[in-house]
Structure 1
Amino acid sequence: EGNPIKDAVVVTFDDGYHDFADYAFPILQEERVPAVLFATTGFINGDLWLWPDQIMYAVENRGNQSVSFPGASGTLDKNLSDDECWNYIADFCLTLPPEERNEVICQLYRNIDLDIPNEAPDRFRSLSWQQVKEMQALGLTVESHSYSHPILTKLTDQEIINELKKSKEMIQTNLGCKVEGFCYPNGMKSDFDFRVKNALIELGYSWGVTAYPTLSPLADLFEISRYNAGASMEDFFKTVFGVKYLSMRLE
């Protein structure tokens, strides 16, 4: 409430994977660091598992096969690494509305003769509502990250409303808390627009966060910018101590 604290750092986590409870939250508790979890509620509810993970599971289990799928310009060579293969398919799926994306993923599985598991394999499983509730009681703040993690700009106006409303209602029902914040799935500039922002306002959200940094992170409360923690401790320290911010100012 009121004016934000100057030079504050807010620690956030997206989606709701089980390893948040296994690894991250115990450290946050030990160090007495507050955090926000942006929950993909359909994932935590057990209704679905996340589509990028469906792609990774297929890629990791393709064996010694080349990969093809609708929309690919040619076939992905079997010698490509899992990460290279995943990046290519996931980047393409980011451009599609949910129904087309799901068909691409289904065809990918058919082409490598693999069944899509009904539930997320252990590596990709979510937290349970009970786990989230227990962490919430210890100080965790929970906000919305949509119901099914779609690219919102690929949805109709009504589909956007459904995603934002359903997610908010599920958090309120399961955790009994007020939901004010939203984290845009994927979080790049092309992943949200005025339609999404207007829907957030209409549904009573107060702010939204992105997945990229800016020089003025609070200039627009529905476009609050964030830094990625980075792949190494060196990268993380550069973020926390402002080196990345300074380098942006000098560009």
Structure 2
Amino acid sequence: MLKLHHIFRNIAQKGKVSVLLFHECDKDVFRKSVIYFKKYYNIISLKDYLENNNLINNHQKPFLILTFDDGCASNYHLLETVKKYKIPVTIFLIYNYINSESPFWWNLNGPTSTQVEDMKTISNNKRLSVINVNLDNKFNTNTRDSLNIKEIKEMIPFFDFQSHTLSHPILTNCTKKTIEDEIISSKKLLESLLDKKVSHFAYPNGNYNSNIIDQLKKTDYESAVTVNHGFNDIKPKSKYEIKRIIVGPGTDYLVTITNASGVYASLKRYLGL
């Protein structure tokens, strides 16, 4: 598998931009992975990629962008490594969970994992009714899931914070009004909190369509990242459909760096798994 990983990095990723999608990553695994990434990749920011800063003339190593969705509380522990190695990392925040003691809705103890997947297919109003029932019955993790304002303020000089909506609904199941509110309000509120422009967006659960892309453009977002697997061209075909490679939580160092090459996901797709 490691040999395949090197082949992917040297051939499939050559002249491409790979965007990794994390949610959480163990502190030590992240540190070791960053050391590896700095050796074998050009780690660039999302902004540099979209502005194409010096990418065309620098093809010696494949390009890598590190992104984290949701703004999990554990992301705070990445700060030490990010500061030490001076690497760009983008975190997509869910605004309504910042400073909240409520768990992310998919982490409620009420629904099973199967029910959570089912909740992603129903209308947003029905999903909210299920969440409210679980909250009323006090099904919770008793653990803060999201970064809080104090942590975010400390991290601002070292991380690029961007939008992942207000409440992480499945946007394709939402009304036009809800879509507008989730996209517009999250941008405005985050800009006020961060005192900077918010230009990039991550689709909750990766669900999107042309209407959602149109709303992002109207709201002055410059790009959006998906969960569509693959490598990106140096000049993206669509700035609102940037592909990413998922690195699952709880993975060890070897699995993380192998995942980064895209070999695992590519083999699974090839085998139809």
Note if 1:115 corresponds to 2:135: no
CA RMSD of aligned residues (A): 2.7
Count of equivalent residues: 212
CA distance in 1, matches of 2:134, 2:169: 19
Contact 2:66/2:90 (8 A) holds in 1: yes
Whether the aligned pair in 2 keeps the contact of 1:212 and 1:228 (CA below 8 Å) is no
Corresponding residue to 1:232 among 219, 241, 252: 252
Structure 2: any 5+ residue segments left out of the alignment? 1-47
Q: What's 2:79 paired with? A: 25
Q: 1:47 to 1:100 in 2, by over 3 A?
A: farther
Q: 2: CA distance between counterparts of 1:131 and 1:206? A: 26
Question: Structure 1, unaligned stretches of length 5 or more?
Answer: 60-85
Shift of 1:31: 2.9
Q: Report what 2:92 is aligned to.
A: 38
CA distance in 2: counterparts of 1:101 and 1:245, whole angstroms: 30
How far the C-alpha of 1:151 sits from its partner, in A, is 0.2
**For each residue in 1:157-209, what CA deviation from the matched residue of structure 2 results, as whole angstroms up to 9, or x when unmatched?**
1211100111101111111111110000011xxx1001110000000000000
Aligned partner of 2:238 in structure 1 is 220
Distance (whole Å) between structure 1 residues aligned to residue 232 and residue 145 of structure 2: 35
Percent identity between matched residues is: 25
Given that 2:66 and 2:88 are in contact with CA atoms closer than 8 Å, whether structure 1 keeps it comes out as: yes
CA distance in 1, matches of 2:74, 2:139: 22
2:225 to 202, 209, 221: 209
Instruction: Write the distance in 2 (CA, Å) between the matches of 1:247 and 1:208.
Output: 26
Q: Say which structure, 1 or 2, has more relative contact order (CA 8 Å, 6+ apart).
A: 2
Q: 2:147 aligns with which of 127, 134, 144?
A: 127
1:15-61: CA deviation from partner (whole Å, max 9, x where unpaired): 1221111x22222223322200101001115395421012xx236xx
Taking a change above 3 Å as real, the CA distance of residues 215 and 53 of structure 1, as seen in their structure-2 partners, is: same
Paired AA for residue 115 in structure 1: K
Match of 1:68 in 2: none
**TM-score scaled to structure 2, two decimals?**
0.69
Cα-to-partner distance string for 1:98-127 (whole Å, 9 max, x where unaligned): 2201223445678xxx4245xx722x4321
CA distance in 2, matches of 1:249, 1:216: 17
Structure 1 length normalisation: TM-score?
A: 0.74
